Structure 1
Amino acid sequence: MPELKLLGMDEASSLLGIKKSTLYDMVMRRVIPVVKIGKLNRFKLSDLEVFIDRNRQEAV
């Protein structure tokens, strides 16, 4: 089984280049998948990579 990498809010927002408040809003709107561990939000690195690829826009 491949290594599972979970990121916290700080790491995920830094990776995406957005504020934590923006990331939290995206989680609440279910735009980005989240893993709930108790009250903590954790993000699979692979889910964030899919999100980035899905939202990529090609240059014209």
Structure 2
Amino acid sequence: MSELKIVDTGNELRLLGMDEASKLLGIQKSTLYDMTMRRAIPVVKIGRLNRFKLSDLEAFINQNRQEAQS
């Protein structure tokens, strides 16, 4: 199977907030926050704010992908 490629038509360095990142991953914000605290997912800290690079989220999705068993 091919890897997931998320197309971002905006700026390459666009950072996503907690709301956008959690919606993209299909998880609750509290789960995403917990994952960032455990360093399971890359995060960019801007002061007290957590921001996520789209390319980091894409890589996280692809690294955690599991093939279906037949």
What is the TM-score when the length of structure 1 is the normalising length? 0.94
Number of the residue aligned with 1:28: 37
Superposed CA RMSD in Å reads 1.0
Mind listing any 5+ residue stretches in structure 2 that lack a counterpart? Answer: 1-10
Report which of the two structures shows the higher radius of gyration computed on alpha carbons: 2
Write the deviation string for residues 9-57 of structure 1: whole angstroms up to 9, x where unpaired: 0000000000000000000000000000011000000000000000000
User: Which SS does the other structure have where 2:22 is aligned?
Assistant: helix
List structure 1 runs of 4+ shifted beyond 4 angstroms. Answer: none
Aligned residues: 59
User: Which SS does the other structure have where 2:12 is aligned?
Assistant: coil
Higher normalized helix content (fraction of residues): 1
Mind listing any 5+ residue stretches in structure 1 that lack a counterpart? Answer: none
